[in-house]
Amino acid sequence: MNHFIKHNHTTHTQSFLAEAQGLELLQQWVDKTQAQIKLPKVIEVSEQQLILTHINATHPTPSLQQQLGKELAKLHSAEHSFCGLENDNFIGLNPQKNCISHNWGEFFWQYRLKCQVELIEDSPIQQRFSDILHSAQVNLTDWLNQNCKHFSLLHGDLWSGNVMFDQAHVWLIDPAVYFGDSEADIAITELFGGFSQTFYAAYQSIKPLSPVYPVKRNIYNLYHYLNHYNLFGISYLSACQRAFSTIQQDFT
């Protein structure tokens, strides 16, 4: 059997261990929900190396895009009693802080948006974003709680590069798992493109999006814009500024 080997060239010694735990948690709930989604098997993991099963990747057919939508909706439909996660993990190359919570709005405000704002190195920008975030805290957290029906297991970094297809299967890779609002996973699918309308139609045939999803999409994707700004720099700043302007207008 062919293997795929990843080597850790970062200072984050726990990143592969967290990735392996995320894959195993997803596999556990894929099995429980009988969702037709595949995860690469962890063959070996250490701080320096992660060995996974190899995927014979090809371009997705419309039927596989449809399968992805339906099976992801099945996974998201499983209800969980808490949001967050017991252990910290990673979102790309940045740490992703977690805790066990029953307050989704507060969790997302503190452990997603606030944590990313605190990573910003430019002091005036950090202060500006922090001021808006604190002004919006009560209204934003209440609104997110009111508009989250239940907690789902999230892939956490579900852009198109983290979905692969072989001739017959859908594969999810590189997770940043936690429990939360399923629409946070759908929001990031729109961030960098790559998901067809067949996918969205199939997903909504099982789990329709909420009427306020367009607003939630802007809030949830702010987390990823902030993460990319912190990782890759100023080209993502304008997207962060637009999202914060929306939050300031709607929630302060």
Q: Could you give the strand order of the β-sheet that contains 100-101, starting from the edge strand earlier in sequence?
A: 100-101, 83-84, 178-180, 152-154
Average pLDDT over the chain reads: 96
Percentage of the chain beyond pLDDT 70 is 100
Catalytic residue, chosen from 88, 122, 131, 157, is 157
Q: Is 131 a catalytic residue?
A: no
pLDDT score of 192: 87
CATH number of 3-251: 3.90.1200.10
C-alpha distance from residue 149 to each of 79, 127, 159, 182, 231 (Å)? 9, 33, 23, 9, 32
DSSP string, 110-134: IIIIIHHHHH---HHHHHHHHHHHH
Residue 233 tokens, joined: 């720099």
> How many other β-carbons are positioned within 10 Å of the β-carbon of residue 126?
14
pLDDT value, residue 181 = 98
Predicted confidence band at 81 (pLDDT cuts at 50, 70, 90)?
Answer: very high
pLDDT in tens, 198-246: 999 999 999 999 999 999 999 999 999 999 999 999 999 999 999 999 9
The pLDDT confidence band at residue 43, using thresholds 50, 70 and 90, is very high
Per-residue model confidence as pLDDT tens digits over 149-203: 999 999 999 999 999 999 999 999 999 999 999 999 999 999 988 799 999 999 9
Listed by start position, the domains of the chain span 3-251
> Using CA atoms, how far apart are residues 188 and 221, in angstroms rounded to an integer?
6
Q: Is the pLDDT of residue 1 over 80?
A: no
Task: Tell me the pLDDT band of 113, cut-offs 50, 70 and 90.
Answer: very high
The pLDDT of residue 193 is 82
Confidence bin at 23 (pLDDT 50/70/90) = very high
Q: Containing H/E element for 65?
A: helix 62-77
CB under 8 Å to 247, separation ≥6 — which residues?
132, 133, 136, 140, 219, 222
For residues 128-137, give the mean pLDDT: 98
Q: For residues 247 and 133, give the distance between their C-alpha atoms in angstroms, rounded to a whole number.
A: 8
Helix (H) / strand (E) containing 215: helix 213-232
